[in-house]
Structure 1
């Protein structure tokens, strides 16, 4: 593995660590200025009705979710890691609790795309059946 691939893998892990620590400034430092985030699958209602966001919008979305919706949420150590040329894919599970006291244990695929050491694009695939049911119950 090249030095840049090692750093890309470290930065993908740091992305999870910074979210878990609520360190949004450190998270922002990992992202390229032109960073784009997309939420999948398309059939799932994306947070705030918007599937694609830039860097600042993404950071605001995470701040809202981690600080307003959840009492806590932890992205656990990846179950599986795949690394390619300027890309890292994580299969991740979460452990969390909503502010209303409902347990949150979702499952994700995160695809990170890099330009050098910076994350330029990320796709998040959530367990759509779980997500739909979980968030419908929170708003009911």
Structure 2
């Protein structure tokens, strides 16, 4: 039973990632709990770190479609915690196609999803915020250490 649950939960997360790549908001809605929470743990200044509620996150994601043509999330690897088959760890890369052809954005991600009763309840995303800032025209200043 535990192996089957692990595989099912990984497939749910895979479906969510596929939904992002296709901008399939209806498909994502079907596998997100109504009280879904999304956290960008290392979001740079100016970006919201936490979204509460499925509809709140979907509205945010839909707003990105004017900026991002496709997220192109790839090289997806999934695993679950040995102690909890409902916690899915995902690693992947992005190579986004942006509406501004003069800009490009790639990054690497480590994410933690929590799946309960067939729905994603929590999604934590870890990425390199400096790469995000500089890709969209911002700057990062090297600190003076020592």
Q: Which residue number in structure 2 is paired with residue 75 of structure 1?
A: 73
Task: Give, in whole Å, the separation in 1 of the partners of 2:31 and 2:3.
Answer: 19
Please tell me whether residue 96 in structure 1 is matched to residue 96 in structure 2. Answer: yes
Secondary structure of 1:136's aligned partner: coil
Unpaired segments of 5 or more residues in structure 2?
139-146
Rg larger in 1 or in 2? 2
Larger proportion of helix: 1
Question: Segments of 4+ in structure 1 off by > 4 A?
Answer: none
Structure 1, unmatched stretches of 5+, are none
> 8 Å contact 2:111–2:126 — kept in the other structure?
yes
- What do the CA deviations read for 1:38-59 (whole angstroms, capped 9, x no partner)? 11215x2363xx2111211111
Distance 1:46 1:39 in 2: 12
What is the CA-CA distance between 1:27 and the residue it aligns to? 0.3
Normalised TM-score (structure 1)? 0.85
Matches within 5 A, 1:1-140: 1-41=2-42, 44-45=44-45, 47=47, 50-53=48-51, 54-65=53-64, 67-78=65-76, 80-84=77-81, 85=84, 86-101=86-101, 102-137=103-138
Normalising to structure 2: TM-score of the pair? Answer: 0.82
How far off is 1:90 after superposition? 0.9
Distance 2:10 2:108 in 1: 20
In the TM superposition, residue 95 of structure 1 has moved relative to its aligned partner by: 1.4
Q: Is the 8 A contact 1:15 1:30 kept in 2?
A: yes
